[in-house]
């Protein structure tokens, strides 16, 4: 994203270091339009200014992301409080305390600076943290079903060792998050216990509450819904604490926020910046004095739903982009989930790569050398403002619904609508998932990992496609390639990748000069897909279909041409696959024909 003159000021140009490097908005429009005309996305009759519509994308919430930032963007949002590198936080979640402890110590020795400890009623907190210097390494608990028991165990263990917990430690209470996840927890009792838990945390000099917005994200919530949930829950906890004797500033200082960071880097950057802005607004409206600075403490964790089980090494790239975005967005602590997390419990190699991502970004790429590096960029400031405005409106909607209680049904319904829209975009490959919906490798051998209960919290974005890959089609599709390699390779490659995304192999005819050569490669597969150029389709496509049906083909597909075309060949084929096709529906139907 580059900053240029605003659309309303076409006469002015951006002042750069050298006058000859300065260009107007109109010049940029002309250059971009020339490229789009070459790719047939614009016609010669279209005005150059149409590039703004063609190149503007929308988030899942419908917020526009233009190709360039424009002048007139809002003032910079609330700056992050972090100075220098972020806290590198490792997730420790092994069910066996001895192994969890080994992972924690290895991570700390490898440069991790804090621990995020998942616990349940079976967890021996003291055993997990044996040998950890609690005064140097912050510990953040995540025990949604037993928050009080885990907190007491941590405080007792620190007291037993005569150590003061690091001030960035957090007892991790979040009963509303557990409620959203539908975990077995007596929410009313847990909320009632918050007062005592908060008092113990304040006495120990640590935080008590984590507003875990990943509880919404993992269910499929959009960025705006995640922001709204975090603010609404944060406000609920603020009210509860202040109603039970806590000063507003003290109550706010007891709360930490956790957000998901995805590989959509600009929305992630803007989301974290918008979250700080929204929380600052909450504190201001709540009456916090202007001279009291209680900045929002943010923990960003790379998205679990974005990870893929297939081609898992691509997750290294996803995690790196997400961590970069979280760092640029100003997160105080960042957890990079290991690349093999979607397969089950990560092993040592995955954990090492995960923690080293932050080291590379901080120490070699110097991402943390500048505070709020995206601040002041028109595009980022505008997206931040748009997300903040939409998030505040969605928060107010939640506030109205929660009067007199916390009815989550309407919010769940809105999340379901977001999930459906994302599924639609993934199915049509408008949100491509490398290794899953794009460039799948049917021959890959997946690493084997033990099951991880934490994966049950989140539904991966490509789960529908992965389910088909889990049970490959019993038979291949015959790819009837028409003409030379040069003539058929584009559509043959498109069709092959599409079929592979649904666990369907192909057997390729290869170069063919006519019907006889095509039939010579045919082995009686029930489903056939024609792949050639328009000329071949027109000249001998219909004859090829007739001959293949005579040889046993029961279902014939044509690649690369939409069924809306007036081409005569659609009178003799059964289906088609082209750009924009609902891949999930197409693959499901094809698999049924193969069975």
What value does the mean pLDDT take over residues 556-577? 78
Query: What distance in Å separates the CA atoms of residue 275 and residue 391, rounded to the nearest whole number?
Result: 9
Tens digit of each residue's pLDDT (9 = 90 or more) over 237-280? 999 999 999 999 999 999 999 999 999 999 999 999 999 999 99
Neighbours of 322 (CB within 10 A): 27
Average pLDDT of the segment spanning 547-570: 80
Query: Right CATH number for 87-401 from 3.50.30.30, 1.10.340.30, 2.40.50.100, 3.20.20.240?
Result: 3.20.20.240
Q: What whole-number distance in Å separates Cα of residue 101 and Cα of residue 84? A: 29
- Long-range Cβ contacts of 446-452 (<8 Å, 24+ apart): 446/309, 446/310, 446/312, 446/343, 447/312, 447/340, 447/343, 447/347, 448/343, 449/340, 449/343, 449/344, 449/345, 449/346, 449/347, 450/344, 450/345, 451/344, 451/345, 452/93, 452/341, 452/344, 452/345, 452/346
**pLDDT band, very low/low/confident/very high, at 13 (cuts 50, 70, 90):** very low
In sequence order, the 6+-apart residues with CB closer than 8 A to the CB of 350 are 338, 339, 340, 341
pLDDT of residue 6: 43
For residues 463-491, give the mean pLDDT: 94
pLDDT tens per residue across span 133-149: 999 999 999 999 999 99
Quote the pLDDT of residue 72: 73
Report whether pLDDT(22) > 90.
no
Helix (H) or strand (E) run with residue 400 in it: helix 378-401
Q: How confident is the model at residue 169 (pLDDT cuts 50, 70, 90)?
A: very high
Instruction: Give the least confident one: 7-16, 37-46, 167-176, 238-247.
Output: 7-16
**127, pLDDT greater than 90:** yes
pLDDT, position 562: 59
b/e map 476-494, b = 16+ CB within 10 Å:
bbbbbbbbeeebbbebbeb
Class of domain 471-594: alpha beta
pLDDT tens for 394-416 read: 999 999 998 877 889 999 999 99
Distance CA 83, CA 486 (A): 56
Residue 567 banded pLDDT, cuts 50, 70, 90? low
360-363 long-range CB contacts below 8 Å, 24 or more apart?
A: 360/320, 361/320, 361/323, 361/324, 361/327, 362/85, 362/86, 362/327, 363/85
Rounded CA separation 302/335 (Å) = 6
Once rounded to an integer, what is the mean pLDDT over residues 332-360?
A: 96
> What average pLDDT does this structure show over 302-315?
96
Q: Are 257 and 227 within 8 A, CB to CB?
A: no
Q: What tokens appear for 111 in the block?
A: 């440069």
Tell me how far apart the alpha carbons of residues 540 and 567 are, in angstroms, rounded to a whole number: 13
Q: Give the model's confidence band at 5: pLDDT under 50 very low, under 70 low, under 90 confident, else very high.
A: very low
Confidence of residue 14 (pLDDT cuts 50, 70, 90): very low
What pLDDT does residue 518 have? Answer: 94
Angle between helices 463-470 and 485-501 (to 10 degrees): 100
Block residue for tokens 């490509």: 462
What span, in angstroms and rounded, lies between the C-alpha atoms of 303 and 319?
8
Residues 6+ apart with CB under 8 A from 403: none
For 444-454, what is each residue's pLDDT tens digit? 999 999 999 99
Q: What is the mean pLDDT of the chain?
A: 91
If one counts every other C-beta atom within 10 angstroms of the C-beta of residue 222, the result is 25
Q: Are 257 and 391 in contact (CB under 8 A)?
A: no
Euclidean distance between CA atoms 593 and 368, whole angstroms: 54
Strands 57-58 and 64-65, by their bridges, are: antiparallel
Between CA 508 and CA 481 the distance in angstroms is: 7
Model confidence pLDDT, tens digit, residues 52-99: 999 998 899 999 888 887 777 677 778 888 889 999 999 999 999 999
Average pLDDT over residues 206-223: 97
The whole-number pLDDT of residue 311 equals 95
Q: What is the 3-state secondary structure (H, E, C) of 207-271?
A: EEEEEECHHHHCCCCCHHHHHHHHHHHHHHHHHHHHHCCCCHHHHHHCEEEEEEECCCHHHHHHH
Domain locations along the chain: 3-55, 87-401, 471-594
Judged on CB neighbours under 10 Å (0-12, 13-18, 19+), 305 is: buried
């Amino acid at each position: 994203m580059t900053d240029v003159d605003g659309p309303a000021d076409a006469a002015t140009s951006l002042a750069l270091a050298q006058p000859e490097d300065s260009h107007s908005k109109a010049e940029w429009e002309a250059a971009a339009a020339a490229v789009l005309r070459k790719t047939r996305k614009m016609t010669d009759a279209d005005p150059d200014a149409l590039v703004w519509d063609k190149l503007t994308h929308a988030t899942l919430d419908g917020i526009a992301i233009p190709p360039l930032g424009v002048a007139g963007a809002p003032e910079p949002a609330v700056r992050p409080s972090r100075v220098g590198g972020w806290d590198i936080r490792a997730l420790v979640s092994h069910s066996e305390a001895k192994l969890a402890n080994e992972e924690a110590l290895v991570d700390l020795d490898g440069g991790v600076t804090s621990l995020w400890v998942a616990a349940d009623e079976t967890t021996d907190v003291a055993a997990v943290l044996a040998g950890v210097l609690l005064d140097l390494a912050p510990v953040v608990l995540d025990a949604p079903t037993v928050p009080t028991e885990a907190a007491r165990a941590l405080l007792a263990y620190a007291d037993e060792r005569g150590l003061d917990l690091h001030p960035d430690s957090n007892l991790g209470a979040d009963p509303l998050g557990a409620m959203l996840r539908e975990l077995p927890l007596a929410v009313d009792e847990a909320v009632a216990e918050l007062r005592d838990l908060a008092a113990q945390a304040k006495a120990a000099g640590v935080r008590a509450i984590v507003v875990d917005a990943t509880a919404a994200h993992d269910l499929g919530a959009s960025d705006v819904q995640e922001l709204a949930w975090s603010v609404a829950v944060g406000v609920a906890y603020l009210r509860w604490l202040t109603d039970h004797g806590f000063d507003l500033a003290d109550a706010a200082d007891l709360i930490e926020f956790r957000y998901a960071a995805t590989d959509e880097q600009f929305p992630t950057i803007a989301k974290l910046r918008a979250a700080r802005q929204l929380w600052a607004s909450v504190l201001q409206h709540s009456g916090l004095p202007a001279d009291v600075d209680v900045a929002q403490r943010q923990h960003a964790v790379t998205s679990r739903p974005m990870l893929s089980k297939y081609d898992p090494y691509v997750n290294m790239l996803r995690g790196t982009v997400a961590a970069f975005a979280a760092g640029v967005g100003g997160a105080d602590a960042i957890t990079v989930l290991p690349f093999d997390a979607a397969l089950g419990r990560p092993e040592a190699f995955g954990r090492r790569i995960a923690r080293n991502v932050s080291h590379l970004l901080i120490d070699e790429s110097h991402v943390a050398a500048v505070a709020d590096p995206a601040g002041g960029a028109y595009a980022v400031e505008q997206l931040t403002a748009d997300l903040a405005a939409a998030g505040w409106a969605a928060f107010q909607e939640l506030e109205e619904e929660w009067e007199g209680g916390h009815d989550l049904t309407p919010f769940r319904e809105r999340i379901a609508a977001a999930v459906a829209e994302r599924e639609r975009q993934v199915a049509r490959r408008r949100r491509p998932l490398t290794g899953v919906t794009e460039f799948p490798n049917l021959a890959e051998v997946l690493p084997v990992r033990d099951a991880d209960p934490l994966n049950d919290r989140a539904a991966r974005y490509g789960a529908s496609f992965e389910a088909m890959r889990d049970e490959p089609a019993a038979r291949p599709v015959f790819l009837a390639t028409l003409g030379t390699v040069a003539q058929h390779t584009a559509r043959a490659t498109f069709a092959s990748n599409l079929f592979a995304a649904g666990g369907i192999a192909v057997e390729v005819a290869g170069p063919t000069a006519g019907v006889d050569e095509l039939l010579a490669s045919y082995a009686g597969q029930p489903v056939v897909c024609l792949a050639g150029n328009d000329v071949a389709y027109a000249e001998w496509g219909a004859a090829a279909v007739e001959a293949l049906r005579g040889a046993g083909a029961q279902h014939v597909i044509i690649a690369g041409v939409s069924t809306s075309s007036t081409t005569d060949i659609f009178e003799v084929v059964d289906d088609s696959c082209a750009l924009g096709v609902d891949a999930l529906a197409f693959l499901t139907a094809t698999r049924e024909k193969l069975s």
